[in-house]
Amino acid sequence: GGDAHTVALYSDGTVRAVGKNKQGQCNTRSWQGIVSIAGGIRCTMGLRADGTVVAVGSNHSGKSMVHTLSGIRSICTSKGSHTLFLRSNGTVASLGKSDEGERNVEDWHDIIAVAAGAPFSLGLKKDGTVVAVGKNDDGRCDTQSWRDITAISTGSWHALGLKKDGTAVVTRKDKPRAQVQGWRDLVQLCGGDYFSAGLRSDGTVCVCASAGSSYALAEGWTNVTAIAAGDNHLVGLL
């Protein structure tokens, strides 16, 4: 999910996108050999099997420089204006803006997953701890105490961690989008501007958001195998 578009990766390595296309962020029909995708703020990026990256849309997240990258294992576009690229050797590259230090990831190592918010960055280490850089005047980067983490995600303004026991941890716990304490049996997490969602092992979805928001409708979903969040929408794969 991007800010106002949704991207789908097909089993044959092609990519389709729908939604707002003013910056060309949905122009992915010529792509082939793609193994993973990421939708960002007015841009879309794709990772090829050979570790190189393609991109369409706005250049806010460094689209014009992706041709310089190689040896990439995964990509994560932010809810702001930067992109993180996890290399096969466990280090991280970044492109885009760095107004708040969100791209200060050059010394990271032993990283197995990355996630990017607005404007901050997370890195999951092999030992189950999480490092974070960027704007933290409201505690969105307060992951120092996290342990036994197996996956990470971000909303625009908060960070989410999936623990080995299937529960979730979150920063900015005082917000409605961060009320995840009772969630159990989780296999995936994702976050948007003002909501968080979790996929349970039984294929159902749990959501926390402001009262009266439409995101709660996802709690009636069943047989879901993956979830993805845009800024203001939630997508489920059956």
Q: Encode the chain in three state secondary structure.
A: CCCCEEEEECCCCCEEEEECCCCCCCCCCCCCCEEEEEECCCEEEEEECCCCEEEEECCCCCHHHHHHCCCEEEEEECCCCEEEEEECCCCEEEEECCCCCCCCCCCCCCEEEEEECCCEEEEEECCCCEEEEECCCCCCCCCCCCCCEEEEEECCCCEEEEECCCCEEECCCCCHHHCCCCCCCEEEEEECCCEEEEEECCCCEEEEECCCCHHHHHHHCCCCCEEEECCCCEEEEC
In this predicted structure, what is the pLDDT of residue 211? Answer: 83
For residue 27, pLDDT beyond 90: yes
Please state the pTM of the whole predicted model. 0.96
Q: Quote the CA–CA distance of 25 and 7 in Å, as a whole number.
A: 9
CA 228, distance to chain mean position in Å, is 8
pLDDT, tens digit, 9 for 90 and up, residues 103-147: 999 999 999 999 999 999 999 999 999 999 999 999 999 999 999
pLDDT, tens digit, 9 for 90 and up, residues 163-199: 999 999 999 988 888 899 999 999 999 999 989 999 9
In this predicted structure, what is the pLDDT of residue 80? Answer: 82
Nearest in space to 86 (alpha carbons), one of 55, 58, 114, 65 = 114
**How would residue 215 be classed by pLDDT, with cut points 50, 70 and 90?**
very high
In this predicted structure, what is the pLDDT of residue 142? Answer: 97
CB atoms < 10 A from the CB of 179, how many?
A: 15
Mean pLDDT (whole number) for 33-55 = 97
In this predicted structure, what is the pLDDT of residue 212? Answer: 83
In this predicted structure, what is the pLDDT of residue 173? Answer: 87
pLDDT, tens digit, 9 for 90 and up, residues 111-120: 999 999 999 9
Give the bridge partners for 55, in sequence order: 45
Amino acid (1-letter code) at residue 124:
L
For residue 92, pLDDT beyond 90: yes
